[in-house]
Amino acid sequence: MTPVSSEDVTFFADKLLSSDEKLDQVIRKDFGERDSNGDGLLTLKELRQFYKNQGAKPERLKLLEVGFGKIDKDHTGEVNFQEYRSTVLHMLSESNALLSIMENMFHKTSPNITDLNP
């Protein structure tokens, strides 16, 4: 019997996971990267430090306060995973809607390349 490699296990696990589960894994990983003390909650201080380490400019860091207030739905001064997940999913749905609108506009307004005879 041939031994099963970790790559094989990963491949089959990925096939079994739904796209929603995969998205949740990505969001959870993203959340964990920002949760520097590992307590399962994000603070404004943690987010500032994360983005500062990513090279964000000071004026961008100031915008975090506004954004943090929108994510922190229960106004505790901390963002739990559900609040973070909800915000990420909302942002993704809005950006997908915008891309769809832009795609429709492009297809309706752009001429067919084959019609552009020199």
Residue 45 in any domain: the answer is yes
pLDDT, mean of residues 83-103: 83
pLDDT at 103 over 80: no
Residue that wins the pLDDT comparison between 4 and 85: 85
Q: How many residues can be counted in the chain?
A: 118
What's the pLDDT score for residue 18?
67
Residue 62 in any domain: the answer is yes
Cα of 69 vs its chain's centroid, Å: 18
Residue that wins the pLDDT comparison between 6 and 33: 33
Q: What is the DSSP string of the chain?
A: -PPPPHHHHHHHHHHHS-HHHHHHHHHHHHHHHH-TT-SSEEEHHHHHHHHHHTT--HHHHHHHHHHHHHH-TT-SSEEEHHHHHHHHHHHHHHHHHHHHHHHHHHHHHSPPGGG---
Range of the domain at 48: 32-108
pLDDT, mean of residues 56-60: 89
pLDDT at 79 over 90: yes
Distances (CA, A) of 113 to 73, 99, 118: 49, 22, 11
Confidence of residue 75 (pLDDT cuts 50, 70, 90): very high
Residue 64 in any domain: the answer is yes
The pLDDT tens digits for 8-51 are 666 666 665 567 788 899 999 999 999 999 999 999 999 999 99
Residue 46 in any domain: the answer is yes
Q: What is the CATH number of the domain that holds 88?
A: 1.10.238.10
Residue 22 in any domain: the answer is no
Residue 87 in any domain: the answer is yes
Split into its structural domains, the chain has a count of 1
Residue 102 in any domain: the answer is yes
pLDDT at 78 over 90: yes
Residue 19 in any domain: the answer is no
